[in-house]
Amino acid sequence: MKTQYYIATSLDGFIATEDDSLEWLFSLGSLDDSSYPEFISEVGSLAMGSATYEWILRNVEQVSAETGSPWPYTQPAWVFSSRKLPVIDGATIQFVTGDVRNIHSEMQEAAGDKNIWIVGGGDLAGQFYDAGLLDNLIVQIGSATLGKGKPLFPRRVLSPILQLVSVRQMGTGMAELRYEVHNRPPVETV
């Protein structure tokens, strides 16, 4: 079991615009031409921040058209938010606050022998990294620049902690980089 941050980013390192739009991403390729189908088949639970969850809420019609459901996941999800948010019908979601270390063991139990996916955002993935719980970064880089927006991974992490293990071209609009996280900080119980 691994805890993985699987994400798409612009060439200049942003996962969304300042107003949390992902429109820039959709013209760059199809999920079916990416590693997503294989990746999601190995995911047993997932975590996301409130901005990611709210994007799904705002785009429920588009999500439904693409996936056949307003909630695109069958796995249990933990949404990290300090605000009360509406629940999407048919979704297995727990809303949580606080330190990711306190929730990670629940996510592991729910995932069984599968992986945990940190869906987004970048700061949430950074919190898992800070706690020593992040095993992989799988970054799909799109051939677009945003100039500013929500950063991919707002942490200072230098080599040799991130070790590149593979590179894959996906059509003409995307490239995928896979990194293993080594020398992680120790996990302490809070």
pLDDT tens digits, one per residue of 113-153: 999 999 999 999 999 999 999 999 999 999 999 999 999 99
- Residue 76 DSSP class: -
6 membership: H or E segment, kind and range: strand 3-10
Residue ranges of the chain whose pLDDT lies below 70: 184-190
What's the rounded Cα separation, in Å, for the pair 54 and 14? 18
Q: 77: buried, middle or exposed (CB in 10 Å: 19+, 13-18, 0-12)?
A: buried
Segments in 71-166 forming alpha helices (H): 101-111, 122-130
Q: How far apart are the first and last CA of the chain?
A: 22
Are 122 and 154 spatial neighbours (Cβ–Cβ below 8 Å)?
A: yes
Length of the chain: 190
The predicted pLDDT at position 84 comes to 94
What's the rounded Cα separation, in Å, for the pair 123 and 129? 10
